[in-house]
Amino acid sequence: MLRTYYNAGMGGTTTIRLSDEDRQLLAQLVPEYGDQSSVIRHGIRRLAEEQRQRQELRALLEDWEAESGPVDEDMVAEMQRRYFNR
């Protein structure tokens, strides 16, 4: 495993341990995003956005169930595949 250190801002440092596969993926993404730190920042933002979307979907489903009763689990799975597994 490779140990890579990144400045986490505000004077802090974050240690990230990457497998060989992760290092290869990082190297493949660097040309598009500029440098390793930019790739990692983009990945973190993307994960945060996906989490926000899942939370909104959960809230929508809770509202739906409160108003209309239980939702069809197969329909929820299809919505999740359609909107979150691009």
Burial 14-39 (b: 16+ CB within 10 A, else e): eeeebeeeeeeebeebeeeeeebeeb
Phi, psi of 73, rounded to the nearest 5 degrees: -60, -35
What does pTM read for this prediction?
Answer: 0.65
How many structural domains is the chain composed of?
A: 1
Query: Domain residues for 36?
Result: 2-84
The amino acid at 68:
S
**pLDDT, one tens digit for every residue, the chain (86 residues):** 455 555 555 557 788 899 999 999 999 999 999 999 999 999 999 999 999 999 998 898 899 889 988 888 888 788 888 888 75
Give the separation between CA 77 and CA 86, rounded to whole angstroms: 14
